[in-house]
Amino acid sequence: MAPDMYVAQNGTSFAAPLVTGAAGILQALGAGSPANIKLYLTASGDPIVTDKPIGGRRLNVFCAVQLVLPPSQTLTDDFSEGYRDCSRWFTTVQPPGIGLMAVGNQQLEMVKASSGIGYMGLATRCKLAGDFDVQVDYRLSIWPAQNFHTVRLMASDLPDGGTGFPGVYRNSYADENYQFRNQLGTAGLVSVPTTDTSGTIGLKRTGQTLSGYTSLGTIGSATTTPNPAGFTIDFATPSTTAPGDVAIAFDNFKVNSGSVSCP
């Protein structure tokens, strides 16, 4: 191969030196033990569809470096940069290889390709203390009726009342609805029918009151705790019979108010 040429190759013999080089970069940045380096490499990769899900990711050196370095104190993300910003987000996909997650068309796109149980989500690396107001736009790109999937904005550090983490859920079950779930459990569960295929979902805490809202306004409120809270935007199903080829997109994750706290 000429020195000024690029070629596409595959196989472990081609991949191994790339991963080894990435590991060397992380080690130089102080990533720590081999176990830590493996964690950074697998947690940072781009989620892809594969029948050989050793992590279910494609190497992303830039994201791995971002995970080693301190997080950004800017939580707001309009996904216009053209890449998944790992200075802001942790990425989870379970089971590995079930779908695609990528920033494209100035939005975060998620495609669950396989049928059955699946989870895809981004969680903020930093938290908000005190009162806060956080929102995100969503779009249901491929969304069959009764597909048993949920699009959600949740605050995972706040108390769970047994119905799921506190947050606003856009569900497709026996009917299409928004739900506000909170620490009061079934007593505090609010469900509102909807035909929306796009919109805004948000969470607001004032004192010890947590409220969930959509583009149409507040759908419910409940007591909560004042501890710092991180946020997750995700797309998931617990159903073993849920279909594949379901797709959504998030955009304009926005912190309207709140005091940022980073580890």
Per-residue pLDDT of the chain (263 residues; tens, 9 = 90+): 567 788 887 777 788 888 899 999 999 999 999 999 999 999 999 988 877 666 678 899 999 999 999 999 999 999 999 999 999 999 999 998 899 999 999 999 999 999 999 999 999 999 999 999 999 999 999 999 999 999 999 999 999 999 999 999 999 999 999 999 999 999 999 999 999 999 999 999 999 999 999 999 999 999 999 999 999 999 999 999 999 999 999 999 999 999 999 98
Please tell me the class of the 75-261 domain.
mainly beta
Number of Cα atoms under 13 Å in the Cβ half of residue 154: 26
Q: What is the largest CA-CA distance in the chain?
A: 69
Radius of gyration of the chain (CA): 19
Find all residues with CB under 8 Å of 35, minimum gap 6, and list them.
Answer: none
Q: What is the 3-state secondary structure (H, E, C) of 114-178?
A: CCCCEEEEEEECCEEEEEEEEEEEEEEEECCCCCCCEEEEECCCCCCCCCCCCEEEEEECCCEEE
Q: How far apart are CA 34 and CA 42, in angstroms?
A: 12
Task: Give me the residues paired with residue 110 across strands.
Answer: 101, 248
Q: How far apart are CA 124 and CA 170, in angstroms?
A: 20
